[in-house]
A and B are shown apart, each in its own frame.
Chain A
Amino acid sequence: MNWSIERKLPLFVTILLVVVAVVQLTIGYGEVRQASRALADKRLPLATRVMADLFQTGQGRARITALAKDSAIVAFLRSGGRRGREPALAAMRRLTSDTATNAGLELRDFGGHLLLRTGKFAGADSVLISPGKDSARYGPLMRQDTTLFIAIAAAVGQEGTGGIVQQVARLALNERTRKTLTGLAGGEVTLLLGNASGDPWTDFATIVPAPPQGVLTSPVPVRYERGEPKRAAAAPVAGTPWMVVAELPTRTVTAPARAYLVSMAPIAALIVILGALVAWWGSRRLTKPLVQVTRAAEAITTGDLEQRVNVQRDDELGRLARSFNTMAEQVSRSHHHLEAQVAQRTKALEGTNAELESFSYSVSHDLRAPLRAIHGFARILLEDHNAKLDPEAQRLLGVIDQNTRRMGQLIDDLLAFSRLGRKEIASARVDMTELARLVADELRRGEGDRNGLELRIDSLVPAHGDRALLRQVLSNLLQNALKFTRGRPDTRIEVGSRPDGKETVYFVKDNGAGFDARYVDKLFGVFQRLHSAEEFDGTGVGLAIVKRIVQRHGGRVWAEGKLNEGATFYFSLPDGEN
């Protein structure tokens, strides 16, 4: 994938926006959640306190205390239950009528025997609470099957002549009560009532298990599990052994936080999308000139020097584009200048080349003709007029004959050498082994039945070059080897090759006359000879031709040798297409 700036920038901005949005939502959610929990924690104790105050039934206690001091009751008890029964019952009926179904009022002696009773409800046939000496007391919440009731009792008179008034009242447990109370506390607050010491507890509709002690004893709201996670606060009802608990489901507490998330998340997503779009647009605006400059630079690299950038801006990018255009202009101008120069030089060179060509043509044609005449007519003198010539004249004509031949050879070699400089070099794979064998076979035929001639050709590394020219190289080197081993009893000539880095080195080795290593520099020069013409014939151009061919192939030539111990001629050719 191509990670260009045009893509990287919007991606980076989008990732940044997403991170910011996620962080923002997380922090916001946390804060709202904490705030609504704090609100709930304030509201719950308030509710419990309100309820606790509501259940503080001071009026009930005052009424039963007043009844205990009623003269009719006191008189009835003092008489041992024998007199004043009706007035006592009348006093009791003022508190609890005979028809009340949810309450009952009893008068018992200290022994617990029931003396009088009004109301239809009876919790149990016993004293439920031992009353305090001088005031009424509420007892704990009590349970009888599915009924919950409370009892309040007060003592009447003295030991022996007194007794106990005891009122029981059934708690009306139904959905309406629960709803009314919940409505009072507000919202989803559930109110529970029960004993501080444990069961039974009620939510005013049904009997429920008692909350854990941890909830009842904690001074601040705590979290606990009842069907679902809830937060709850507890408060005692003053003057009674009861407690009130107000609780809220945790989900209600966290609802605002969730609502915040639900409303904020789409907004955040919208911001991210908008931001990404803006970043994409901005990045395109920013990178478009850059892309233009890049494309133009690439075009210039591939040779289209007329490429320019069209960016109309005043900022850094505009400056970059203008600088680029100026630079391209300069490059183009100097390129054209160079091209013009090259064309001019080429023209000059072509002129020189043409001159050279006509010169060598003249040499080829005009020098050879007179030479041929000298040679031809000298030969005719020797052949047709031999009888008229004395031996000295014949010898002198022989010298003329020899030198004209030699001159002809020199001209031919010189022309061959100068042609090499102008010839195009073809480049193809050349099987050097086959080529060397071909040359060797040809030369061997020319040697006739030369004794003790051993010409070994190894398997040679293939070369890249001009087959005809490489053939000339091998031919010249082998001819030299054969020439300089002539007259030796055993001739060993070896052709080999070895790879050497990025080139291949070929060599022709002989055990012939060799050369004085001091003159190695002169070996490859034109017309340079290290042996006299009497010793070995030749014009001294062969190795110069070898050197020129190898150099035009990008290679090198060199030689090693020792006088009378043979010579090795090396040439290197670069590998492959270069």
Chain B
Amino acid sequence: MQPNGVEILLVEDNANDAELTLRALKQRNLANQVHVCRDGAAAMEFFAGGAGPVPKVVLLDLKLPKVDGLEVLRRLKGDARTKAIPIVVLTSSREEPDIERAYELGANSYIVKPVDFEAFARAVSDVGLYWLLLNHPPQ
């Protein structure tokens, strides 16, 4: 673990969803090194230059202002420096075209946000646990 780095990058424009996500991660003690971007452009900026910290996972909403989630996904997976970073799509859309397109672009997971808060919290914390603690990325 990088003591001062960013482990989770949350790209989420909805402040409520972001708060709920952070709360769910906090319950598992995973919220310390979360960085939140409020739109796609900010997310791209985060990676710009390649000098910044490399998160262990990106939680990416699809419907984002400025640059939308699928575009962010396309650019990150298309860049040799960032394509190894796991990206989990976390969205309200369960539309088939979105799911297909996301996997095509190289998403590592696709999770539909449940309306039910308990289910939502469980999903978010499971994702965090899996990618941060269980997954073994290439060195």
Chain A positions near chain B (C-beta within 8 angstroms)? 357, 360-361, 364-366, 368-373, 375-380, 404-405, 407-409, 411-412, 415, 419, 423
CB closest chain-B residue, reference A410: B115
B62 → chain A closest CB, angstroms: 8
Which residues of A have CB within 8 Å of B118? 379
Complex contact A372–B20 (CB within 8 A) = yes
Complex contact A368–B115 (CB within 8 A) = yes
A472 → chain B closest CB, angstroms: 15
B115 → chain A closest CB, angstroms: 3
Q: In chain B, residues 74-96, which have Cβ atoms closer than 8 Å to a Cβ of chain A?
A: 91-96
A365 touching B93 in the complex, CB below 8 Å, given contacts A372-B17, A373-B16, A373-B20: yes
Complex contact A361–B93 (CB within 8 A) = yes
Taken together as a complex, chains A and B put the C-alpha atoms of A357 and B114 apart, in Å, by 21
Which residues of B have CB within 8 Å of A357? 95
Taken together as a complex, chains A and B put the C-alpha atoms of A552 and B86 apart, in Å, by 40
Of A360, A405, A419, A423, the residue contacting B115 (CB under 8 A) is: A405
Of B20, B63, B91, B96, the residue contacting A376 (CB under 8 A) is: B20
- B23: CB under 8 A from chain A? yes
Chain B positions near chain A (C-beta within 8 angstroms)? 14, 16-17, 20, 23, 63, 91-96, 113-118, 120
Taken together as a complex, chains A and B put the C-alpha atoms of A372 and B20 apart, in Å, by 9
CB closest chain-B residue, reference A361: B95
Which residues of A have CB within 8 Å of B117? 372, 375-376, 378-380
A358 → chain B closest CB, angstroms: 10
Which residues of A have CB within 8 Å of B17? 369, 372-373
User: Of B14, B20, B91, B116, which is in contact with the most chain A CB atoms at under 10 Å from its CB?
Assistant: B116
Complex contact A364–B115 (CB within 8 A) = no
Complex contact B63–A411 (CB within 8 A) = no
Taken together as a complex, chains A and B put the C-alpha atoms of A404 and B120 apart, in Å, by 13
Complex contact A365–B115 (CB within 8 A) = no
The 8 nearest A-B residue pairs measured at CB: A408-B115, A373-B16, A376-B117, A365-B92, A379-B117, A376-B20, A368-B92, A375-B117
CB closest chain-B residue, reference A408: B115
Complex contact A372–B115 (CB within 8 A) = yes
Which residues of B have CB within 8 Å of A376? 16, 20, 23, 117, 120
Listed A/B pairs (28) with beta-carbon separation below 8 Å: A360-B95, A361-B95, A364-B92, A364-B94, A365-B63, A365-B91, A368-B92, A369-B14, A369-B92, A371-B115, A372-B113, A373-B16, A373-B17, A373-B20, A375-B117, A376-B16, A376-B20, A376-B23, A378-B117, A379-B117, A379-B118, A380-B23, A407-B115, A408-B116, A409-B115, A412-B94, A415-B94, A423-B96
Which residues of B have CB within 8 Å of A409? 115
Taken together as a complex, chains A and B put the C-alpha atoms of A405 and B118 apart, in Å, by 10
Which residues of A have CB within 8 Å of B96? 419, 423
Which residues of A have CB within 8 Å of B114? 372, 408
Of B16, B23, B94, B95, the residue contacting A369 (CB under 8 A) is: B16
CB closest chain-B residue, reference A415: B94
Of A360, A372, A379, A423, the residue contacting B16 (CB under 8 A) is: A372
A406 → chain B closest CB, angstroms: 10
A397 → chain B closest CB, angstroms: 12
Taken together as a complex, chains A and B put the C-alpha atoms of A17 and B113 apart, in Å, by 93
Complex contact A364–B20 (CB within 8 A) = no
CB closest chain-A residue, reference B115: A408
6 A-B pairs besides A375-B116, A375-B117, A423-B96 with CB distance below 8 A are A357-B95, A364-B94, A372-B17, A376-B23, A379-B118, A380-B117
CB closest chain-B residue, reference A401: B117
Taken together as a complex, chains A and B put the C-alpha atoms of A409 and B113 apart, in Å, by 13
Taken together as a complex, chains A and B put the C-alpha atoms of A405 and B119 apart, in Å, by 11
Which residues of A have CB within 8 Å of B23? 376, 380
CB closest chain-A residue, reference B120: A372
CB closest chain-A residue, reference B118: A379
A541 → chain B closest CB, angstroms: 15
A362 → chain B closest CB, angstroms: 10
Taken together as a complex, chains A and B put the C-alpha atoms of A357 and B98 apart, in Å, by 12
Which residues of B have CB within 8 Å of A423? 96
Taken together as a complex, chains A and B put the C-alpha atoms of A185 and B73 apart, in Å, by 131
Taken together as a complex, chains A and B put the C-alpha atoms of A360 and B92 apart, in Å, by 12
Which residues of B have CB within 8 Å of A368? 92, 113, 115
Which residues of B have CB within 8 Å of A369? 14, 16-17, 92, 113
